[in-house]
Amino acid sequence: MTPNHVPGTFAYGHPEWTFYEMLQHDPARMAKFMPAMASVEAKMPIAGIYDFGWVVALAESDLSSDRPVFVDVGGGKGQAIKAITKEFPGLPTHRCVLQDRPEVIKSVEALAEPEIKTVQKMAIDFHKEQPVKGMLSYIPTHSVAPLKLIHL
């Protein structure tokens, strides 16, 4: 799988571009894409569908560890981490990782929201190997599929 040569870039006439490069060249399309993503996020249940109590219990039993407990892949502005830590306040945010594209992470850092201040923010390329190893769970929140958890 490559980040370019996808249907949208073929239709746009630049198959060599990635989807996000296409959006950067088309401000009108980008203006439609961003609210559409926000709408998907607003309708996707995050908290209340999975019990993260076991993650809290494990984190509390090993307070000296820096091992990530939770990696939010494609986590946007940290909506999932905020919702989950609100429901499970014992979840140590400094051991949570928010991953997204570089420009998204930059905007999250600029917002400096207090709820995710201590969350580790990491710019990644979704088409490359997952850089964080040994965490308790991944959550891919920007997929079109329902919320999935991957435990390691």
Q: What are phi and psi of 129, to 5 degrees?
A: -60, 145
CB 54 within 8 A of CB 69: no
- 35 by DSSP, 3-state: which? helix
Nearest partner of 85 among 73, 69, 101, 99, judged by Cα: 69
Q: pLDDT band at residue 93, thresholds of 50, 70 and 90?
A: very high
Position 66 scores a pLDDT of 80
Average pLDDT, the chain: 80
Residue 146 has pLDDT above 60, yes or no: no
Predicted TM-score of the model (pTM): 0.69
Position 119 scores a pLDDT of 96
CB 47 within 8 A of CB 57: no
pLDDT in tens, 2-57: 677 778 788 888 888 887 788 888 888 877 877 776 666 666 666 667 788 888 88
Between 141 and 4, where is the model more confident?
4
**Terminal-to-terminal C-alpha distance of the chain:** 24
Nearest partner of 55 among 20, 28, 95, 25, judged by Cα: 95
pLDDT in tens, 104-117: 899 899 988 999 99
Residue 148 has pLDDT above 70, yes or no: no
CB 56 within 8 A of CB 90: yes
